[in-house]
Amino acid sequence: MHTQSKETQNQLTPDQAFQILKDGNTRFVNNLKANRNLLQQMNETKEGQYPFATILSCMDSRTSAELIFDQGLGDIFSIRIAGNVLNEDILGSMEFGTKVVGSKIILVLGHTRCGAITGACNHVEMGYLTGLLEKIKPAIEHETQTTENRTGSNQSFVANVTENNVHLALERIRKESPIIAELEQEGKIKVIGGIYDVESGVVSFFEK
């Protein structure tokens, strides 16, 4: 598997970039790996990088985007934070990844059994974590299906909040970053969401 170069990155369409992620996840689920020489990729990227994707995911130890999508050095920008929450710094990183470096797709990736989502559902307060979990509250408020046991012990409730959290992040990206919104409207990038199942390894995608 070759490292992304400026030429290969430029030739990729957003749909092709999306397909690369899908194919990589299929390999992961089937315990297959593309043939890569990581030392060679390190040497090939020492003068520059041309990732085809920018991925916001959780810091959860089970959700490494490089592994889930079977990618190597120089393939993706990986932004990781508990609860895959969004802030101005992350938006700026996404703008850098797309507008400046040229990646063709932004993926916001939530995951099942997320500790941050569960903590937010349980109204956990602890140091700086309190402020982080506050960013998940809008996703809780948007969950109107559950009328009883709206806590982290209700797996269905947590799953709904997890998905809401991704959808709201996608809305905010488009609303708060005119740069990304313009790139998407011009067809230069795709902005998508997904949920990674920590039990099966499968990523379920949803688009705009």
Annotated binding site for Zn(2+): 58, 60, 111, 114
d(CA 119, CA 133): 7
d(CA 14, CA 188): 7
Which residues line the annotated binding site? 58, 60, 111, 114
Q: CA 13 → CA 19, 68, 77, 170, 179, distances in Å?
A: 10, 21, 17, 20, 18
d(CA 52, CA 74): 9
Using alpha carbons, select from 13, 35, 25, 23 the residue that is nearest to residue 57: 25
Strand ranges across the sheet with 76-80: 76-80, 53-57, 105-111, 190-196, 203-206
Q: For residue 203, what is the enclosing H or E element? A: strand 203-206
d(CA 50, CA 182): 21
